[in-house]
């Protein structure tokens, strides 16, 4: 047992930059990109899903069902192989994998937005329309601001979930924490010690994020 912890200390002393600087850095960057652009795309998918244009609503519904009904790893492979064919230049593996994460996150976030919008009292919409606001103005000035307040905790939880799901990106060696594990394990042949370090890193990141999300929820309840 003493050798086990001694090996962990040795790995950290030699490869802390690989794990903490590169691995954590790429993990957080991939998470931020996914949540930010996933939220933007999710809004458009949500509005299409709630559109009165039947074909647009059905396309959004069908797209969401396909994404939610297939494994994320499969979607990452599609992004990895499809994105280079759609672009006039050779994108990085990081960019291709990010596209897969963004699309997956957008479909789940769109449902979060939809539930948040539907939770807004319909009387708010009726009052806005009676004041002369059209549908677009009612949505952007009245409904969405209230819906966003309702869904912020769910978006925080999505941030935590994506942080853990980035481990799938190690399949493509894009540099996040699990990729760091594969690199260091290949050099040291100490699998369990490296996995222990990775587990502590992920737990620490998600623990901090959960505390921040919980604080945000308490502040929102207080403001209500």
Classify domain 2-223 at the CATH topology level: MetI-like fold (1.10.3720)
* Alpha-carbon gap, residue 181 to 191, rounded angstroms: 8
**pLDDT computed for residue 150 by the predictor:** 75
Q: What six digits make up the tokens of 222?
A: 């207080």
Tokens 């999710």 correspond to 42
Mean pLDDT of the chain: 87
Give the residue from 124, 140, 153, 126 showing the smallest Cα distance to 223.
153
* Alpha-carbon gap, residue 127 to 146, rounded angstroms: 14
* Alpha-carbon gap, residue 43 to 55, rounded angstroms: 18
Contact by Cβ (8 Å): 26, 163: no
* Alpha-carbon gap, residue 142 to 25, rounded angstroms: 38
pLDDT above 70 as % of the chain: 96
Give the residue from 76, 71, 60 showing the smallest Cα distance to 109.
60
Distances (CA, A) of 143 to 29, 53, 125, 157: 31, 20, 7, 22
- Phi/psi at 62 (nearest 5 deg)? -65, -40
Question: How does residue 134 score in pLDDT terms, banded at 50, 70 and 90?
Answer: confident
pLDDT in tens, 93-113: 999 999 999 999 999 999 888
């Amino acid at each position: 047992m003493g050798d086990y912890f001694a090996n962990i200390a040795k790995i950290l002393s030699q490869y802390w930059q690989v794990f903490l600087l590169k691995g954590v850095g790429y993990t957080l960057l991939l998470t931020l990109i996914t949540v930010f652009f996933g939220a933007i795309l999710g809004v458009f998918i949500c509005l299409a899903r709630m559109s009165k244009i039947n074909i647009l609503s059905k396309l959004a519904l069908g797209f969401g069902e396909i994404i939610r009904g297939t494994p994320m790893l499969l979607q990452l492979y599609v992004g990895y192989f499809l994105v280079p064919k759609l672009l006039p230049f050779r994108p990085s593996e990081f960019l291709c994998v990010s596209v897969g994460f963004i699309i997956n996150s957008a479909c789940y976030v769109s449902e979060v937005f939809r539930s948040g919008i539907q939770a807004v009292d319909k009387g708010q919409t009726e009052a806005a329309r009676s004041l002369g606001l059209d549908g677009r103005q009612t949505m952007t000035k009245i409904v969405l601001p209230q819906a966003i307040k309702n869904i912020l905790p769910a978006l925080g939880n999505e941030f935590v979930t994506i942080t853990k799901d980035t481990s799938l990106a190690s399949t493509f060696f894009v540099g996040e924490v699990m990729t760091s594990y594969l690199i260091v394990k290949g050099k040291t042949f100490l699998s369990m010690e490296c996995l222990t370090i990775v587990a502590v890193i992920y737990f620490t990141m998600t623990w901090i994020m959960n505390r921040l999300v919980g604080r945000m929820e308490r502040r929102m309840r207080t403001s209500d």
